[in-house]
Chains A and B, each alone.
Chain A
Amino acid sequence: MSLITPSFGLLFWMVLIFGTVFFLLAKFGFPVITKSVEKRSNHIEESLRKAEEAQKKLESLSQEQAAMIEQTRLEQGRILKEAAEARDKIVAQAKVQAQEEADKILEHARIEIAAERESAVREIRSQVAQISVEVAEKIVRKSLETPAEQAALIDRMVDEASQARKS
Chain B
Amino acid sequence: MKKLLLIFLPVLLMLLPLPARAEEEAAFDMQKYIFAHIQDSYEWHITDIKGKTIAIPLPVIVWSKTAGFHCFSFHHLEEGECYEGFRIAQEGESYEGKVVEVMPDGSISRPVDISITKNVVGLMFDAALLVLLILLCARWYRKHDVLKEKPTGIAAFFEPVIVMINDGVIKDVIGPEYKKFSPYLLTAFFFILINNLMGIVPIIPGGANITGNIAVTAVLAIFTFLMVNLFGNKHYYKEIFWPDVPVFLKAFPLMPAIEILGTLTKPFSLMIRLFANMLAGHIMLLSAIAVIFLTAKMGPVINGSLTLVSVAFGIFLDVLEVLVACIQAYVFTMLSAVFIGLAHQHPEHE
Identify the A interface with B (CB < 8 A). Answer: 2-15, 17-18, 20-22, 24-26, 28-34, 36-37, 39-40, 43
Contacts and interface: CB of A to CB of B under 8 A. Distances in A.
Contacts of A29: 131, 134-135, 137-138, 183, 187
Given A10-B215, A18-B223, A29-B138, 5 more contacts: A13-B123, A15-B219, A18-B220, A29-B131, A37-B163
Contacts of A36: 141, 146
Interface residues of B, number: 51
Going nearest first, the 5 A-B pairs with the smallest beta carbon separation are: A6-B215, A26-B183, A10-B215, A29-B134, A36-B141
Interface string B167-211: 000000000000000111011001100000000000000000000
24 contacts: A6-B214, A7-B113, A9-B114, A11-B219, A12-B114, A13-B120, A17-B120, A17-B127, A18-B127, A21-B127, A22-B187, A24-B135, A25-B134, A28-B138, A29-B135, A29-B137, A30-B138, A30-B187, A32-B142, A33-B134, A36-B146, A37-B146, A37-B162, A39-B146
Given A8-B114, A13-B114, A26-B184, A32 B127 contact: no
A24 B165 CA distance: 19
Given A33-B158, A37-B146, A22 B216 contact: no
Contacts of B215: 6-7, 10-11, 14
B124 A17 contact: yes
A164 to B, nearest CB: 147
Contacts of B97: 2
Nearest to B186: A30
B18 interface: no
B170 to A, nearest CB: 9
Contacts of A30: 134, 138, 162, 182-183, 186-187
B120 A10 contact: yes
Contacts of B117: 9-10
Interface string B136-171: 011001100011000000010011001100100000
A158 B286 CA distance: 197
B307 interface: no
B142 A26 contact: no
A113 to B, nearest CB: 101
Contacts of A28: 135, 138
A40 B120 contact: no
B123 A8 contact: no
Say whether chain B's binding surface is mostly helix, strand, loop, or mixed. Answer: helix
Contacts of B138: 28-30, 32-33
B43 to A, nearest CB: 14
Nearest to B62: A9
B39 A2 contact: yes
A33 B159 contact: yes
A143 B187 CA distance: 171
A12 B39 CA distance: 17
Nearest to B139: A32
Contacts of A2: 39, 96-97
Contacts of B159: 33, 37
A26 B180 CA distance: 10
Nearest to A15: B219
Nearest to A25: B187
Nearest to B110: A8
B338 interface: no
B120 A9 contact: yes
Contact of B113 (A4, A8, A32, A34): A8
B279 A33 contact: no
B218 interface: yes
B77 interface: no
Contacts of A10: 40, 117, 119-120, 213, 215-216
Contact of B182 (A8, A20, A34): A34
A47 to B, nearest CB: 9
Contact of A31 (B35, B39, B183, B190): B183
A104 to B, nearest CB: 89
A77 B293 CA distance: 104
Nearest to A35: B141
Nearest to A4: B214
B303 interface: no
B295 interface: no
B130 interface: yes
